[in-house]
Amino acid sequence: MKIMKFMFFLTVLLCMVASGEGLSCQLGGNAACSVSCWIQGRHYGGYCNSRGVCICNR
């Protein structure tokens, strides 16, 4: 359980440091993209497309 919390914290930290949507995909994949979308106020998460660009759900 501690590992999961640490990984979530690390993902959030990476998203905050790299707020660019493309960087979140490169650094943390779908999880980082989803958190990045939440931080931007889009509360439905997101995913990385085939080009590595974060797509926030509406």
Using a cut of 0.85, tell me whether the model's pTM lies above it: no
In a domain, residue 7? The reply is: no
User: Which runs of consecutive H residues, i.e. helices, occur in the chain?
Assistant: 2-17, 21-39
Alpha carbons 36 and 2: distance in angstroms, whole number? 22
In a domain, residue 28? The reply is: yes
The answer, yes or no, to whether residue 3 has pLDDT greater than 60, is yes
In a domain, residue 52? The reply is: yes
The answer, yes or no, to whether residue 53 has pLDDT greater than 60, is yes
Domain coverage including residue 27: 19-58
In a domain, residue 30? The reply is: yes
Provide the number of structural domains found in the chain: 1
The answer, yes or no, to whether residue 19 has pLDDT greater than 80, is no
In a domain, residue 42? The reply is: yes
**CB-CB contact of 56 with 44 (8 Å):** yes
For the stretch 5-14, contacts whose Cβ atoms lie closer than 8 Å and that sit 24 or more positions apart, written own/partner, are 11/35, 12/39
In a domain, residue 27? The reply is: yes
Beta-sheet pairing, 46-48 with 54-56 = antiparallel
pLDDT of residue 48: 92
pLDDT of residue 14: 61
Percent of the chain residues past pLDDT 70, beyond the cut: 79
In a domain, residue 29? The reply is: yes
In a domain, residue 44? The reply is: yes
